[in-house]
């Protein structure tokens, strides 16, 4: 079997709270392969965001190892982790976090230019993504001129612009009405299928979760498969 795009092995993560240790992850194991979409379903406070932060190299675990594309990351230098995160991991959040002073196409171009792409290359890639997501006519619009669903589709395009192997999403449809949420999910799913992305999506939307390849939850600090 191929190497997982993302693998957590015996991952532990705790926080100090008023002098006490609050254990969030307690030896969690999880594997995610390219082209696979997994829904992370758990109540608030169970540790979904912590799991995504550790998986996305935004936080280091206190124990265990995180592999991205087969590379062990815990002992990497900070600049190596930053480079790996920039190139191999895309993020989509509940709030789109688009830069308001830039147009949709410029928001998608920026991470590419930071990664070393030329302005022309970044522009071409951004235009392709906007067209793929049905937003070709909206590229010059700033975020305030876009609907909520359009803003979130731009955020998805920005997250995948550098061609990452892993996409992590935290409640990406949480602020949207059901019809718009469905459009955004379909756009996200289409990109996963077209590019072979490995995708982990934290969501409370059970209807959308049912359409993904796998469903997992967090129980007592462990990742548990559902179904």
Domain ranges of the chain: 6-225
Per-residue pLDDT at 32: 94
With 60 as the cut, is the pLDDT of residue 1 above it? Answer: no
pLDDT, tens digit, 9 for 90 and up, residues 77-113:
999 998 898 889 998 877 778 899 999 999 999 988 9
CATH number for domain 6-225, candidates 3.30.1490.20, 1.20.1600.10, 3.40.50.300, 3.20.20.70: 3.40.50.300
What whole-number distance in Å separates Cα of residue 212 and Cα of residue 225? 13
pTM: 0.88
Question: Using alpha carbons only, how large is the chain's radius of gyration in Å?
Answer: 17
Q: Which of 188 and 218 is assigned the larger pLDDT?
A: 218
Counting beta carbons within 10 angstroms of the beta carbon of residue 159, is it exposed (0 to 12), middle (13 to 18) or buried (19 or more)? buried
DSSP output for 48-78: HHHHHHHHTTSS--SEEEEEETTEE-TTS-H
Strand order in the sheet with 6-17: 20-32, 6-17, 63-68, 71-72
The whole-number average pLDDT for the span 201-219 is 89
pLDDT, tens digit, 9 for 90 and up, residues 7-65:
999 999 988 877 788 888 899 999 999 989 999 998 777 788 899 999 999 999 999 99
Tokens read off for 128: 């392709």
The whole-number average pLDDT for the span 145-151 is 89
């Amino acid at each position: 079997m191929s190497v997982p795009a993302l693998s957590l092995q015996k991952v532990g993560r705790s926080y100090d709270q008023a002098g006490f240790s609050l254990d969030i992850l307690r030896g969690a194991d999880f594997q995610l392969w390219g082209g696979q979409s997994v829904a992370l379903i758990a109540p608030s406070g169970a540790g979904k965001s912590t799991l995504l932060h550790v998986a996305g190299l935004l936080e280091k675990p206190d124990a265990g190892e995180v592999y991205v594309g087969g590379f062990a990351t815990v002992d990497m230098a900070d600049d190596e982790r930053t480079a790996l995160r920039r190139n191999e991991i895309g993020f989509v959040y509940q709030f789109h976090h688009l830069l308001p002073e830039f147009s949709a196409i410029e928001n998608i171009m920026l991470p590419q230019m930071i990664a070393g792409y030329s302005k022309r290359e970044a522009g071409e890639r951004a235009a392709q993504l906007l067209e793929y997501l049905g937003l070709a006519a909206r590229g010059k619009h700033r975020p305030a001129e876009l609907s909520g669903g359009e803003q979130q589709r731009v955020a998805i395009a920005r997250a995948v612009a550098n061609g990452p192997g892993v996409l992590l999403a935290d409640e990406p449809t949480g602020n949207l009405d059901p019809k718009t949420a469905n459009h955004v999910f379909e756009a996200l799913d289409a990109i996963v299928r077209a590019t072979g992305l490995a995708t982990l999506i934290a969501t409370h939307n059970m209807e959308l979760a049912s359409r993904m390849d796998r469903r997992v939850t967090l129980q007592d600090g462990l990742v548990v498969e559902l179904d």
